[in-house]
Amino acid sequence: MFLQKLYTRLNNMENPSKACNSFRLLFTMSSLEEPLGFDKLPSMSTIDRIQRFSAGACRPRGDDMGLGNCWIDGRSCSTSNSCDEDYEEYTGEAFPWRRHVKDVSEGGTFNRRASSLSKNRMKFEYVCDSRYLPDHQCSCKCNDRGIHGITNKFLKGIPKFVKIVEVGPRDGLQNEKNIVPTSIKVELIRRLVSSGLPVVEATSFVSPKWVPQTYSMGNDYCWMQLADATDVMKAVCDLENARLPVLTPNIKGFEAAVAAGAKEIAVFASASECFSKSNINCSIEESLVRYHAVCHAAKELSVPIRGYVSCVVGCPVEGAIPPSKVAYVAKELYRMGCFEISLGDTIGVGTPGTVVAMLEAVMAVVPAEKLAVHFHDTYGQSLPNILVSLQMGISTVDSSVAGLGGCPYAKGASGNVATEDVVYMLNGLGVKTNVDLPKLMSAGDFISEHLGRQSGSKTAVALSRVTADASKI
């Protein structure tokens, strides 16, 4: 809630982007390596921190990926395209958050005083006086202009824009034991859409009404969680500015989805035979035949179809999955009409070494722009896996707000990668996502509060800790 207030305040300001807020700080004696408590340092608000560190770096206009200008993490480029705004000196009235300042002349006692910011400017002794110029160039006094070539090598293939497919409401919530009320799901979807996410996977039509066979998806209660699929879909189908795909395991599920107002569907195959049998109770080939029928029906109604491939690196039963198998399934889904294939490391065992090999095999048969990556963070590997995927040219990433969705195969372990962490990284790389990080965090905050637990996103935790401490000042 504090985040919301901060964000509202930010939005109501005349020039919220003018956040060059530096302050002169006086410090008392402190020791080497004394673990500094937060109370000993000036606080930094969430918005401050986001602005300073997390958000979209200035990307030079044009195709030049070179970093003649230094990459400085700045504000996120949201749909409001705030990158156009100048960062200039701002007055204290614009940012009335109090700062914690320790005055050495007073012998170490804390002084709280409102920051007198009118004369203060973000002090970048060696860097920028203003963070952004209107034309996206960083005004930067860095002396790294001669290292163009080396930098290009590592960031060359990374796309300028990455589409984030938010799977929290479906893939995330389906693993929850306690049923989340429909109204909460709908509100979550609304908040996610308003943060700028272009695609939000809304629900799944997997009820036994439509799927008579056992459909465990790793747990026995996911179908119960998603039993309100029709209600959710009806409530969100008219939301603008985002696509809302839904999972449809067969024709019956597809028909129910369309009747409820779904305009995009998804089908879910596996690269592992064992997993296919245990998860959707049929072989890979049988599932592909089934999806053929779904795709055919979808094409007739001009409904786009997204294909998922699970276990693209490892399977909880079979172990390592050959890349060629993944390529085969991906190719089949692509041929039957899926406009996008999402490659899922279902148990999170992948590392850049195995991910690259898998992507090489798949990209030989499906164009890179039709691929998405869906990594689980069970072993903490998802962000480096996403990074190499981007370096290989992938430009669509699945993730889940607040890291919703544990791993059903390793109880207590984490599952989906958190959208906030992904956005933070992409912002830092200067990759546009159109996602507003504070609004996204607000959505994550909302659902985490309902679920009664801390966010699974480290970015969200870090930023909210800072906020919580700032609010106590």
Least separation in angstroms between residue 282's CB and other proteins is 21
The number of C-alpha atoms within 13 Å of 69 and in the hemisphere containing its C-beta is 21
Q: Are 405 and 415 in contact (CB under 8 A)?
A: yes
Nearer to other proteins, 125 or 300 (CB): 125
- DSSP code per residue over 90-123: --TTT---EEEEE-GGGTT-EEEEE---TT----
Nearer to other proteins, 67 or 265 (CB): 67
Task: Count CB-CB contacts under 10 A for residue 213.
Answer: 11
Nearer to other proteins, 134 or 146 (CB): 146
Least separation in angstroms between residue 377's CB and other proteins is 6
Nearer to other proteins, 171 or 264 (CB): 171
Nearer to other proteins, 99 or 306 (CB): 99
In whole angstroms, what is the distance from residue 428 CA to residue 71 CA? Answer: 8
Q: Are 371 and 341 in contact (CB under 8 A)?
A: yes
Least separation in angstroms between residue 259's CB and other proteins is 40
Specify the DSSP class assigned to residue 54.
I
Nearer to other proteins, 89 or 469 (CB): 469
Least separation in angstroms between residue 39's CB and other proteins is 10
Least separation in angstroms between residue 15's CB and other proteins is 19
Report in angstroms the alpha-carbon separations of 147 from 57, 69, 128, 159, 402: 18, 10, 19, 20, 37
DSSP-based three-state secondary structure for 70: coil
In whole angstroms, what is the distance from residue 148 CA to residue 454 CA? Answer: 41
Neighbour order of strands in the sheet with 265-270: 199-200, 163-166, 396-399, 371-375, 340-345, 305-310, 265-270, 246-247, 203-204
User: Distance of alpha carbon 175 from its chain centroid, rounded?
Assistant: 18
In whole angstroms, what is the distance from residue 285 CA to residue 332 CA? Answer: 10
Least separation in angstroms between residue 469's CB and other proteins is 6
Specify the DSSP class assigned to residue 287.
H
- β-pair type (203-204, 246-247): parallel
Q: Which residues pair with 113 in a beta bridge?
A: 99
Least separation in angstroms between residue 38's CB and other proteins is 6
In whole angstroms, what is the distance from residue 470 CA to residue 106 CA? Answer: 23
Least separation in angstroms between residue 406's CB and other proteins is 10
| Residues identified as active-site | 407
Q: In the numeric block, which tokens belong to residue 400? A: 């889940």
**Size of the chain in residues:** 473
Burial environment of residue 63 by CB neighbours within 10 A (0 to 12, 13 to 18, 19 or more): exposed
Nearer to other proteins, 223 or 375 (CB): 375
Nearer to other proteins, 79 or 391 (CB): 391
